[in-house]
Amino acid sequence: RIMRPDDANIAGNVHGGTILKMIEEAGAIISTRHCNSQAEEPCVAALARVERTDFLSPMCIGEVANVSAEITYTSRHSVEVQVNVMSENILTGAKKMTNKATLWYVPLSLKNVNKVLEVPPIQYARKEQEDEGKKRYEEQKLDRLETKQRNGDVILPVINPEPHTVGYSQSSLIHLVGPSDCTLLGFVHGGVTMKLMDEVAGIVAARHCKTNIVTASVDAINFHEKIKKGCVITVSGRMTFTSNKSMEIEVFVDADPFVDEPRERYRAVSAFFTYVSLSKEGKPLPVPQLLTETEDEKRRFEEGKGRYLQTKAKRQAQMQQAAQQ
Amino acid sequence: RIMRPDDANIAGNVHGGTILKMIEEAGAIISTRHCNSQAEEPCVAALARVERTDFLSPMCIGEVANVSAEITYTSRHSVEVQVNVMSENILTGAKKMTNKATLWYVPLSLKNVNKVLEVPPIQYARKEQEDEGKKRYEEQKLDRLETKQRNGDVILPVINPEPHTVGYSQSSLIHLVGPSDCTLLGFVHGGVTMKLMDEVAGIVAARHCKTNIVTASVDAINFHEKIKKGCVITVSGRMTFTSNKSMEIEVFVDADPFVDEPRERYRAVSAFFTYVSLSKEGKPLPVPQLLTETEDEKRRFEEGKGRYLQTKAKRQAQMQQAAQQ
Amino acid sequence: RIMRPDDANIAGNVHGGTILKMIEEAGAIISTRHCNSQAEEPCVAALARVERTDFLSPMCIGEVANVSAEITYTSRHSVEVQVNVMSENILTGAKKMTNKATLWYVPLSLKNVNKVLEVPPIQYARKEQEDEGKKRYEEQKLDRLETKQRNGDVILPVINPEPHTVGYSQSSLIHLVGPSDCTLLGFVHGGVTMKLMDEVAGIVAARHCKTNIVTASVDAINFHEKIKKGCVITVSGRMTFTSNKSMEIEVFVDADPFVDEPRERYRAVSAFFTYVSLSKEGKPLPVPQLLTETEDEKRRFEEGKGRYLQTKAKRQAQMQQAAQQ
């Protein structure tokens, strides 16, 4: 579809959240279709996890987004989908890869939302594809467990914060979940949640550096808990780390089933977003360093630095591999 | 994309206007891409006309709309696009043809919006395809001229109208044209206009028969005049004809460039929409007859009857042809 | 236009904010048109104030909102518009008055947004109409001055609040101002701001009483400062007063022009919203009493009580007057 002014920031760059939402919709369609292809019981595929994704080049207003999706692995109860997004300038015909994402879905019964159904197996062209898929499946399973433990954290408000401290840029928004945000099961689409998360992360980044910012990458996101129609969700973001030219922002989503529900507020999702600041010519700008004050902030800064160096090392290894081929 | 609650009426049937908007977006993308493929000057394809289209089966919330578009003819200054919409129930895998539409686009220069550029010719598989396309081109050209003359008419308000008269159900809405309604040239997308027209026509139909109604077909629509960002558009609808099971509604779009423009309010588009009333089981219901009072209303009723009988005759001829093959 | 699922809460009642937004759009169109009717310089009417408005009966999904607007007074630099909203159930034909609102607009030059232009005078049928309008004009002018002084207040966060305290239900959201939120001048539509304010107030009310709530009335709102495209706005609400069956919520809007602007965060609007809690049958329910803790909270409670009693007295006076006629 054609990118509109509402999909983009003032500089005309399409929000990462808009792209994540398109990716998730494509993934939900292909995996729901697959899971119902042999099912005795109708089901809806629910997003369980999105692997880390890099935004390779910004998309602009007026460009057309081409989204393609393919099922690349199935376990007994989950589906792995690979989604590619290309941006196409229909005036010049130029096409660019915007990003690739890998998503994991789980089929939930339409009659009983707490029942996970079995996934029909796919055929692999080569045995290695199945083995590699299985490896990815095991890896993400481990990672899911890990983030579950991180989930107790809350963001505390700060009065009169100094510029460039964590408290200075931290932000949160609340959103009442409406019917158009939800799947047939009455739970929020993962894509809707990711769009709100990107919105908050973008505001944190812009408050910190006061320039035009764009989403550079999103770390793996795990959807631990479903969010029901009618809930109020609070999406909060705080900066955890800055390198010379990038900012890492941690985003939490808490759901508050405040009408007709005997349940307490709970953490539904958390994730790390990385932003860069761009000049008017689209070049990355230096970013003011984050000032950490408390012990927790210093610890999180070091953890962020770890993730940053790890990603950098991985990317260099990939580039060397590519150069050798 | 997945159909959401906001795309549909209370009974869960997707609005014809939502479908028309998707069709037009697909047509605009493919024809803009084609016209820029060899162009020296960048251009944006603007919708000039939509041929009559029938809605074959209603689409529902939760279904996926598959839209495919193909260029079927090019004249020197216009492109004919054929768009097909399939609805897919991803739970059952069932697919149904929702409708087919034929649209005509004209490439306008991005630098000078009043300049119509030349269209690169397409290759035809067979000579007959080109001849048939040319015939369709000539036919629509004639028809365009005709509707241009009809355009002076206005809708006058009626105080305390009797049930089932024209005045009883006539309706209008105003809309301030925002940035996301517009193309790169700053003019309203044809699809946005059609969606508003369908909304008004639907209100007229529901006011008349007080039941669940769906769009059955839309007569050819000609876009005589562009509508600029910042305009206020008034969309008005009045019932012109009823058969036993259908209602014909005439819809006008007037644009009011009320800021910064030395121009008067003008008629931008007009068209006929046909609605049917459906029972809870999805069966067509009888429709109360339209009571005509003035001479003009009686004349329009007869004209509507003419269109209705003509369409009916055409459809019977097609069915006989199909039966003979 | 037809009310859609996204316009309403889970119980199907249309948000007061959706109605306020429609009212403001109608007011902006009629006053912009009027101010350009004889103008030498093109202008856009900006919302300066909305008088207190009562929501007489809730509107539901599927109903059609009929909005009509009329200019009732013009001063040298401002326009008073009266807007009426009727809800129409198009299935039964039943019409109900939803609310009436009085709005004040100021024409700003399209070339220089800081220049207020002159308003062409309207003709009055009777001399008394002009005099009454002038009286209303003077009254609102005084009131505007008063609220300007109230504007320094901020909402402080509370950790682990007790149920039914002020801190327990207070809420805030942030919103990045996008192109569709803005007028041709690049400033946020008053109606967009009011919709966000109602959203926050509604969440505060629902958090307090955990039931289905609807907007009962909105006190006069003054728009002291324009908000520019690209700003982040923070909308915060806290409960100030509860009667047996109503809740009063104070809402602040702060704008943060954080990109490319040498300006500090500033208070753009503040207002009081009154909510009632409804049972499934649509009857008003008792509301838990607000627990005030600090001196400020106690003072605000008393002030809220004052407003409540004043409004009650006014309404009784009007009813007696009506009974005598």
Amino acid identity of residue B250, one-letter, is E
Instruction: Identify whether the C-beta of residue C27 lies closer than 8 Å to the C-beta of residue C47.
Output: yes
Residue A151 scores a pLDDT above 60 = no
DSSP secondary structure letters along A251-272: EEEEEE--SS--PPPEEEEEEE
Q: B294 or C10, which is more confident?
A: B294
Select from C179, C30, C51 the least CA-distant residue to C107.
Answer: C30
Which domains occur in chain A, in start order?
Answer: 2-146 (3.10.129.10), 166-300 (3.10.129.10)
How many other C-beta atoms lie within 10 A of the C-beta of residue B133? 18
Average pLDDT, chain B: 89
What does the pLDDT read at residue A7?
83
For residue C34, give the chain B residue with the closest CA. Answer: B258
Rounded mean pLDDT, A208-228: 89
Question: What is the maximum span of chain C, computed from C-alpha positions, in angstroms?
Answer: 61
Instruction: Determine which of A128-132, B68-72, B254-258, C66-70 has the lowest per-residue pLDDT on average.
Output: B254-258
Select from C59, C69, C66, C56 the least CA-distant residue to C7.
Answer: C59
What does the pLDDT read at residue A150?
59
Instruction: Identify whether the C-beta of residue B250 lies closer than 8 Å to the C-beta of residue B297.
Output: no
A111 to chain B, any CB pair closer than 8 A? The answer is: no
What does the pLDDT read at residue B201?
94
Q: Spot the catalytic one: C198, C212, C219, C222.
A: C198
Residue C78 scores a pLDDT above 70 = yes
Task: Please give the ipTM for the structure prediction.
Answer: 0.73
Residues of A in contact with C173 (CB under 8 A): 173-175
pLDDT per residue as tens digits for the range C186-228: 889 999 999 999 989 998 998 898 888 899 999 999 898 888 8
DSSP secondary structure letters along C74-128: E-SS-EEEEEEEEEE-TTT--EEEEEEEEEEEEEEESS-TTPBPPPPPPPPSSHH
pLDDT per residue as tens digits for the range A159-174: 778 899 999 999 888 8
Tokens standing for B119? 């269209």
Determine whether the interchain pair C210/A172 forms a contact, defined as Cβ–Cβ distance below 8 Å.
Answer: no
C94 to chain B, any CB pair closer than 8 A? The answer is: no
Determine whether the interchain pair A202/C176 forms a contact, defined as Cβ–Cβ distance below 8 Å.
Answer: yes
pLDDT per residue as tens digits for the range A259-304: 656 677 888 898 999 999 988 888 899 999 999 999 999 999 999 9
Nearest residue, CB atoms, B6 vs list A5, A25, A180: A180
**CB neighbour class for A285 (10 Å; exposed up to 12, middle 13-18, buried from 19):** middle
Instruction: Identify whether the C-beta of residue A36 lies closer than 8 Å to the C-beta of residue B90.
Output: yes
Residues of B in contact with A180 (CB under 8 A): 4-6
What does the pLDDT read at residue B31?
92
Instruction: Identify whether the C-beta of residue A219 lies closer than 8 Å to the C-beta of residue A52.
Output: yes
Tokens standing for C307? 């407003």
Query: Which segments of chain B are extended strands (E)?
Result: 43-50, 53-54, 64-74, 79-88, 95-109, 171-176, 212-218, 221-223, 232-242, 247-256, 266-278
Average pLDDT, chain A: 88
Select from A190, A274, A265 the least CA-distant residue to A234.
Answer: A265
Instruction: Identify whether the C-beta of residue C60 lies closer than 8 Å to the C-beta of residue C13.
Output: yes
Residue A94 scores a pLDDT above 90 = no
pLDDT per residue as tens digits for the range B74-96: 999 999 999 999 998 888 888 89
Determine whether the interchain pair A210/C157 forms a contact, defined as Cβ–Cβ distance below 8 Å.
Answer: no
A174 to chain C, any CB pair closer than 8 A? The answer is: yes
Residues of B in contact with C4 (CB under 8 A): 5-6
Residue with tokens 């093959």: B325
Could you tell me where the DSSP H helices lie in chain C?
A: 16-36, 127-149, 166-169, 190-209, 295-324
Query: Residue A157 and residue B103: Cα distance in Å, rounded?
Result: 56
Residue A154 scores a pLDDT above 80 = no
Q: Is the pTM of this model over 0.95?
A: no
Instruction: Determine which of A77-86, A313-322, C283-292 has the lowest per-residue pLDDT on average.
Output: A313-322
For residue A202, give the chain C residue with the closest CA. Answer: C176
| Radius of gyration of chain B from its Cα atoms, rounded to whole angstroms | 20
Q: Kindly state the percentage of chain A with pLDDT values over 70.
A: 95
Most C CBs within 10 Å: which of A176, A277, A285, as the mutation test of the C interface?
Answer: A176
Rounded mean pLDDT, C241-264: 85
pLDDT per residue as tens digits for the range B237-280: 999 999 999 999 999 999 988 776 667 788 899 899 999 998 88
pLDDT per residue as tens digits for the range A23-75: 999 999 899 989 988 867 888 999 999 999 999 888 888 888 889 999 999 99
Select from C218, C237, C216 the least CA-distant residue to C169.
Answer: C237
Rounded mean pLDDT, B17-25: 91
| C172 three-state secondary structure | strand
Rounded mean pLDDT, B59-71: 89
Nearest residue, CB atoms, A90 vs list B33, B61, B92: B33
Rounded mean pLDDT, A168-187: 84
Tokens standing for C87? 């809800």
Determine whether the interchain pair C33/B232 forms a contact, defined as Cβ–Cβ distance below 8 Å.
Answer: yes
